[in-house]
């Protein structure tokens, strides 16, 4: 972990000095063919792709969770009263929507990551000497690129399959079918698995290893029917089994330890983890910031060096499905009248009680930003990620868990039920995950697909999986708290109009 961080800092300082004197003689003396001599050289080459992941948690959660039945980002006035959030909740996104997010920001983040990976892969392939070290670092970058392609296919459907660093402006790419992208991603991950070290190595964490590649491949296989039209349940189980048999991995003892500041110390559950360290991880906006409330949180964390956002709230029908004894429910949310440290009722500077009600509704699109001020506290607030009083601006020490071991355990249980119906092995797997959040224990018996569906929702809340889970379980198109039932073609999003304007070869998704 320290190696990657130091390399990122080195790149910043090198670029700062080099950008003023990029002459031809310098490139002649320090060519890429002379660069790949030591492992540190390889680390410096791949660091830019890892750094790109630090922007991942913010837009990814907006795309995956705020479009699902779990969260809504538009609940009230005070900065959140705009159509782009409302249309995410109502499943009525338009290609011409706001250029920032979620549509265009998600597209740019995905393809910026692909471009950086392509450039690094080409440099390694053309300039590094053949050998195990070259293949290992190629495998790391190919696995990251596979993840970006996976996300693009998930959100936009058919997508450009670009593997060059600089596409020909006279021959811009067209969209490739999801099935072809699926096959490409599968082959990239199989290459990665064959060339990466296996098992948890604290000295390498959080770099990509064999289990990371297998975890991404498990996600690909469990969603194969959506992406390629063919079920791959058994193949998903095989990847899950390989991960569960790897050395060093286990479930964390405490659920909420996984989301505290410096949660890298829970690496034994983190299969794919984006590191955030104040002042180093590049000005990222981790999910934790978006899950805080304002202004009351400062009563408990008076030294926070950033402003909190008071953004998302839990959708009512999702909240109602929690077991009342579930620790994830009782310790991960803020509901009702909030209290000061001295036990008195909390009010904001305007004298409004800070009372997070279960019920909330979407404001009209033309409502002025200061209307209905009382509604600013409507909605149960997530409080899963710990605030970081040591943050630098918005750069906090809570890393983002992209894929956890609990996710893989539940994937295996789901596939077993899909293949065999309710069975004791699936029950055992699900109850492994539930054991740490119920005291006394509340094991499930004869668990169904519906049980797995909700267990994944509760366990992986606000970690970016819910929208994809809903599509796989054929529920995303069904009516929800804030949207009517719609055609399944709207399970994927429109291509941003800005991207079509820049590349007329891109054809818009049906219905948009």
User: What value does the mean pLDDT take over residues 463-483?
Assistant: 96
Measured in whole angstroms, the distance separating CA 300 from the mean position of its chain's CA atoms is: 28
Per-residue pLDDT tens for 328-346? 999 999 899 988 888 899 8
The DSSP H or E segment spanning 450 is: helix 449-459
Q: pLDDT at residue 22 above 80?
A: no
- 315, 337 Cβ separation under 8 angstroms: no
Give the count of alpha carbons within 13 A of 398, CB side only: 26
Cis check for the bond before 440: say yes or no (omega within 30 of 0): yes
Cα–Cα distance between 457 and 467 in angstroms, integer?
10
Task: Specify which residues 337 forms β-bridges with.
Answer: 355
**Strand 400-404 to 270-274 pairing:** antiparallel
Q: What is the pLDDT of residue 1?
A: 46
Cβ proximity of 276 and 393 under 8 Å: no
Q: What percent of the chain has pLDDT over 70?
A: 81
Where is pLDDT greater, at 23 or 13? Answer: 23
pLDDT of residue 244: 98
> How do residues 295-318 score in pLDDT, each as one tens digit?
455 556 667 777 676 778 899 999
80-84, 138-142, 501-505: least confidently modelled range: 80-84
d(CA 114, CA 151): 11
Cβ 399 vs Cβ 264: under 8 Å:
yes
Whole-number average pLDDT of the chain = 85
Alpha-carbon distance 245 to 262, whole Å?
A: 26
The answer to whether 382 and 71 are in contact (CB under 8 A) is yes
**Strands 71-72 and 313-314, bridge-based pairing:** antiparallel
- Do 494 and 484 contact (CB within 8 A), yes or no? no
What are the structural domains of the chain?
Answer: 2-283+400-502 (1.25.40.390)
271 by DSSP, 3-state: which?
strand
Over 50: is that where the pLDDT of 46 sits? yes
Residues 135 and 149: their CA atoms lie apart, in Å, by 20
Residue 158 vs residues 79, 85, 270, 296: alpha-carbon distances, Å: 34, 24, 30, 44
Strands 333-334 and 336-337: unpaired
Comparing 110-124, 180-194, 307-321, which segment has the lowest mean pLDDT?
Answer: 307-321
| Residue 293 pLDDT | 44
- Residue 353 sits at φ, ψ, to 5 deg, of -60, 135
pLDDT for residue 283:
43
What mean pLDDT do residues 38-53 have? 93
Assign 78 a pLDDT band (cuts: 50, 70, 90): low
Tell me which of 259-263, 300-304, 454-458, 475-479 is least confident: 300-304
Interstrand relation of 270-274 and 333-334 (parallel, antiparallel or unpaired) = unpaired
The answer on pLDDT for 18 being more than 50 is: no
Average pLDDT of the residues in 374-382 = 81
Output the pLDDT for position 275: 87
Which residues on adjacent β-strands are paired with residue 274?
Answer: 400
Position of tokens 């750069």?
395
The arithmetic mean of pLDDT across residues 77-91, rounded, is 71
Query: 7 or 83: which carries more pLDDT confidence?
Result: 83
Q: Out of 21-30, 77-86, 477-486, which region has the weakest mean confidence (pLDDT)?
A: 21-30
Count other Cβ atoms within 10 Å, centred on residue 266. Answer: 20
What are φ and ψ of residue 272, in 5° steps? -140, 115
Categorize the per-residue pLDDT at 64 as very low, low, confident or very high, splitting at 50, 70 and 90. Answer: confident
Q: Is 125 left (phi over 0), alpha (psi -120 to 50) or beta?
A: alpha
Res. 423: pLDDT tops 80:
yes
> Contact at 8 Å (CB) between 345 and 337?
yes
Q: According to the model, what pLDDT value does residue 372 have? A: 53
Q: How confident is the model at residue 281 (pLDDT cuts 50, 70, 90)?
A: low
Statement: residue 394 has pLDDT above 70? no
- Quick: pLDDT tens for 232-275: 999 999 999 999 999 999 999 999 999 998 899 999 999 999 98
pLDDT for the residue numbered 2: 46
More confident residue, 390 or 6: 390
DSSP secondary structure code for residue 270 in this structure:
E
């Amino acid at each position: 972990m320290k190696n990657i961080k130091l390399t990122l800092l080195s790149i910043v300082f090198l670029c700062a000095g080099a950008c003023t004197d990029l002459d031809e003689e310098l490139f002649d003396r320090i060519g890429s063919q002379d660069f790949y001599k030591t492992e540190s050289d390889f680390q410096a080459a791949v660091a830019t792709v890892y750094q790109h992941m630090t922007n991942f948690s913010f837009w990814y959660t907006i795309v995956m969770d705020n479009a699902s039945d779990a969260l809504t980002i538009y609940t009230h006035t005070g900065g959140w009263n705009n159509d782009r959030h409302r249309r995410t909740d109502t499943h009525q996104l338009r290609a011409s929507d706001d250029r920032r997010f979620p549509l265009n920001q998600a597209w740019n983040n995905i393809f910026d990551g692909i471009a950086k990976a392509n450039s690094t892969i080409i440099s390694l392939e053309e300039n590094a000497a053949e050998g195990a070290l070259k293949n290992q670092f190629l495998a790391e970058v190919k696995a990251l690129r596979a993840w970006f392609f996976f996300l693009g296919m998930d959100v936009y459907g058919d997508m450009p399959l670009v593997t060059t660093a600089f596409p020909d402006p006279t021959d811009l790419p067209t969209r490739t079918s999801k099935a072809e992208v699926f096959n490409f991603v599968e082959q990239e991950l199989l290459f990665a698995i064959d060339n990466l070290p296996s098992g948890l190595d604290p000295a390498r964490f959080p770099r990509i290893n064999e289990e990371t590649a297998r975890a991404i491949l498990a996600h690909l296989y469990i969603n194969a029917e959506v992406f390629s039209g063919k079920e791959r349940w058994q193949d998903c189980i095989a990847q899950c089994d390989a991960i569960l048999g790897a050395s060093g991995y286990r479930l964390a003892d405490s659920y909420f330890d996984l989301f505290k500041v410096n949660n890298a110390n829970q690496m034994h559950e983190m299969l794919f983890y984006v590191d955030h360290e104040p002042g180093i991880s590049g000005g990222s906006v981790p999910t934790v910031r978006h899950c805080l409330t304002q202004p009351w949180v400062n009563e408990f964390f008076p030294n926070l060096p950033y402003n909190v956002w008071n953004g998302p709230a839990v959708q009512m029908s999702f909240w109602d499905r929690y077991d009342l004894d579930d620790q994830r429910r009782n310790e991960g949310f803020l509901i009702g009248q909030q209290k000061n440290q001295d036990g008195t009722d909390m009010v904001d500077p305007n004298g409004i009680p800070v009372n997070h009600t279960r019920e909330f509704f979407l404001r009209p699109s033309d409502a002025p930003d200061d209307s209905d001020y009382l509604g600013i506290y409507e909605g149960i607030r997530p409080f899963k990620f710990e605030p970081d009083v040591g943050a630098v601006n918005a750069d906090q020490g809570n890393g983002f868990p992209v894929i956890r071991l609990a996710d893989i355990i539940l994937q295996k249980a789901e596939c077993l039920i899909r293949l065999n119906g309710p069975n004791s092995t699936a029950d055992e797997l699900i109850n492994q995950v539930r054991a740490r959040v119920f005291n006394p224990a509340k094991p499930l018996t004869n668990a169904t697909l519906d049980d797995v569906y909700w267990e994944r929702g509760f366990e992986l809340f606000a970690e970016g999986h819910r929208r994809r889970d809903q599509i796989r379980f054929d529920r995303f198109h069904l009516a929800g708290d804030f949207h009517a039932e719609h055609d399944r073609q709207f399970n994927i999003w429109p291509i941003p109009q800005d991207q079509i304007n820049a590349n007329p070869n891109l054809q818009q998704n049906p219905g948009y």
